[in-house]
C-alpha cells in the first residue's frame, strides 16, 4: 500500500494560497505559491493552531492563532528560532495532485525554559496574604487624590494589624497590553499563561497574575465609578484574565484555589449595585469566594457634580474608613478559615461548559 494519496485534480487546489486538506487521516496545510505546491503539518507547535487556516507572509506560513511563522517550503521557523514542523512531499501526475502521508522531515520543537507562571500552584507557609489592586486611572506625572485608592490603603494597613502580609498593585503604574481576543479564534487559542505574557517580556500584567494565583489569599480590588461602570483600567485588566477562567473550559484546571475577593467602589455619581454585581460575577467566575458583605461603596448620587466635596467627604468621614477596615477583617478571617480547612480544589464541574461540548 503506497504512502502517496491522491487528493484530486491539481487545478482545483490552485484557487487558494493556503488550505487545509486531509491526507490519509493526517491534517496537512497545502500551499500554492510561485506556481508550485508544498505541504506542511497541519498543526502549529505552539498551541496546535490550524495552519491550514493560516496565511502567507512572504515565504512564511503564519499560524492564525498566535502568528508563529514557518517557511512555506521547508517548514523551518524564522532565522534564530530553532523550530520546524514536518514537511510532506507533493507531486502532480496526470493532472492530479498527490501528497505523501508520511512526513519527509521531523518536527523540531522549541527548546526554552518553561514560563514561571506554569509552575505548580503551591501555597507556601506563612500568615494570610492580602493584595490590593487599585484600578483608578490618573496622570502619572501629575497624580491626584483617589478616593477608592485611599480606602484601599486603609484596608491594607488594617490587614497588617491583623497579622497579614499585604501588597498594593496600582494598575496605573503598570504597562500592559489590552486583550487581543485570541479566545475569539478558538477557546484553545486562549492559553495559560496569556499569550501576550508568554511572548512580550515588557508586558507587566504578569505581576497581577503572580499575585492573584500564587501569592495572595485575599484580593481587594478598588475602583472609581466611571459613567456607571468600573474604571477602564479595571476592564482592561479583567479582559486579560480570560486566560485564567478559560483553563477550566479547556483543561478542567482551577487556577484560583481557596481565595477570597472583596471590593471597594467609590464615585461621585451612583450605580454602585451594578458595578458591584459585575465585579462579583467576574471574580466568582474565576473561582474566588466572598466574605459576608463583600464590598463597601460610596456615592453622593447623580446630581453631585461638586467633586471637591466628594473628596472631602471620603477623607473626613470615619465610617467609610471603619468600613474599609472591617472589609479587611471579614476577608482575612475567611482566608484563615479556608487555609485551615480542606485542600483547595483543582477542578470544577460547571454544568457542561467545556470547549467543544455545547449544551444539548
Tell me, what CATH number does 245's domain have? 3.40.50.360
SS3 30: strand
Q: How far apart are CA 168 and CA 156, in angstroms?
A: 8
Question: Does the pLDDT of residue 172 top 80, yes or no?
Answer: yes
Based on the domain organization, do 328 and 200 belong to the same domain? yes
Place of cell 501528497: 99
Task: Tell me which of 41, 73, 100 is where a domain ends.
Answer: 100
Q: How far apart are CA 288 and CA 219, in angstroms?
A: 9
Q: What is the pLDDT of residue 304?
A: 77
Question: Does the pLDDT of residue 360 top 50, yes or no?
Answer: no
Residue 232: closest CA among 137, 133, 147 = 137
pLDDT digits (tens, 9 = 90+) for 11-58: 999 999 999 999 999 999 999 999 999 999 999 999 999 999 999 999
What is the arithmetic mean of pLDDT over 193-202?
96
Based on the domain organization, do 210 and 310 belong to the same domain? yes
Based on the domain organization, do 83 and 224 belong to the same domain? no
Based on the domain organization, do 130 and 95 belong to the same domain? no
Q: What is the pLDDT of residue 352?
A: 62
Domain boundaries, position 171:
117-340
Based on the domain organization, do 254 and 304 belong to the same domain? yes
Determine what percent of the chain is predicted with pLDDT higher than 90.
84
- Gyration radius (Cα) of the chain, Å: 26
Mean pLDDT computed over every residue of the chain: 93
Does residue 354 lie in a domain region? Answer: no
Question: Does the pLDDT of residue 295 top 90, yes or no?
Answer: yes
Does residue 27 lie in a domain region? Answer: yes
> Half-sphere exposure of 199 toward its Cβ, with a 13 Å CA cutoff?
8
Cell of 179: 486583550
Q: What is the pLDDT of residue 358?
A: 43
The total of structural domains in the chain comes to 2
Q: How far apart are CA 254 and CA 130, in angstroms?
A: 20
Based on the domain organization, do 68 and 36 belong to the same domain? yes
Does residue 323 lie in a domain region? Answer: yes
pLDDT digits (tens, 9 = 90+) for 235-269: 999 999 999 999 999 999 999 999 999 999 998 77
Q: What is the pLDDT of residue 196?
A: 97
Q: What is the pLDDT of residue 313?
A: 87
Determine what percent of the chain is predicted with pLDDT higher than 70.
97
Output the DSSP codes for 217-285. Answer: SEEEEEEE-BTTB--HHHHHHHHTTHHHHHHHHHH----S-S-EEEEEEEESS--HHHHHHHHHHHHHH
Q: What is the pLDDT of residue 1?
A: 47
What is the arithmetic mean of pLDDT over 82-95?
97
Task: Tell me which of 100, 129, 161 is where a domain ends.
Answer: 100
Answer yes or no: are the C-beta atoms of 86 and 61 closer than 8 Å: no
Based on the domain organization, do 128 and 212 belong to the same domain? yes
Amino acid at each position: 500500500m503506497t504512502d502517496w494519496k491522491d487528493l484530486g485534480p491539481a487545478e482545483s487546489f490552485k484557487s487558494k494560497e493556503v488550505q487545509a486538506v486531509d491526507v490519509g487521516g493526517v491534517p496537512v496545510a497545502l500551499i500554492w505559491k510561485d506556481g508550485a505546491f508544498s505541504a506542511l503539518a497541519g498543526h502549529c507547535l505552539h498551541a496546535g493552531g490550524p495552519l491550514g487556516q493560516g496565511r502567507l507572509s512572504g515565504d512564511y506560513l503564519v499560524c492564525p492563532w498566535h502568528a508563529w511563522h514557518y517557511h512555506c517550503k521547508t517548514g523551518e521557523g524564522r532565522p534564530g528560532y530553532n523550530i520546524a514542523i514536518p514537511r510532506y512531499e507533493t507531486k502532480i501526475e496526470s493532472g492530479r495532485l498527490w501528497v505523501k502521508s508520511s512526513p519527509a522531515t521531523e518536527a523540531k520543537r522549541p527548546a526554552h525554559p518553561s514560563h514561571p507562571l506554569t509552575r505548580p500552584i503551591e501555597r507556601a507557609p506563612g500568615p494570610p496574604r492580602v493584595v490590593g489592586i487599585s484600578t483608578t486611572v490618573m496622570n502619572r506625572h501629575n497624580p491626584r487624590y483617589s478616593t477608592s485608592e485611599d480606602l484601599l490603603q486603609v484596608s491594607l494597613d488594617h490587614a497588617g494589624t491583623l497579622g497579614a502580609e499585604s501588597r498594593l498593585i496600582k494598575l496605573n503604574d503598570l504597562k500592559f497590553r489590552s486583550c487581543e481576543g485570541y479566545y475569539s479564534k478558538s477557546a484553545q487559542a486562549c492559553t495559560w499563561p496569556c499569550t501576550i505574557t508568554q511572548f512580550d517580556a515588557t508586558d507587566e500584567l504578569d505581576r497581577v497574575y503572580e499575585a492573584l494565583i500564587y501569592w495572595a489569599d485575599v484580593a481587594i480590588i478598588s475602583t472609581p465609578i466611571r459613567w456607571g461602570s468600573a474604571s477602564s483600567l479595571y476592564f482592561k485588566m479583567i479582559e486579560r484574565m480570560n486566560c485564567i477562567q478559560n483553563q477550566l473550559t479547556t483543561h478542567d484546571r482551577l487556577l484560583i484555589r481557596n481565595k477570597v475577593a472583596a471590593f471597594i467602589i467609590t464615585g461621585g455619581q451612583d450605580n454602585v449595585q451594578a458595578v458591584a454585581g459585575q465585579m462579583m460575577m467576574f471574580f466568582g467566575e474565576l473561582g474566588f469566594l466572598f466574605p459576608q458583605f463583600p464590598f463597601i461603596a460610596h456615592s453622593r448620587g447623580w446630581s453631585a457634580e461638586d467633586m471637591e466635596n466628594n473628596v472631602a467627604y471620603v477623607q473626613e468621614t470615619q465610617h467609610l474608613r471603619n468600613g474599609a477596615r472591617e472589609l479587611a477583617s471579614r476577608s482575612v478571617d475567611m482566608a484563615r478559615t479556608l487555609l485551615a480547612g480542606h485542600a483547595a480544589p483543582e477542578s470544577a464541574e460547571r454544568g457542561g461548559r467545556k470547549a467543544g461540548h455545547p449544551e444539548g
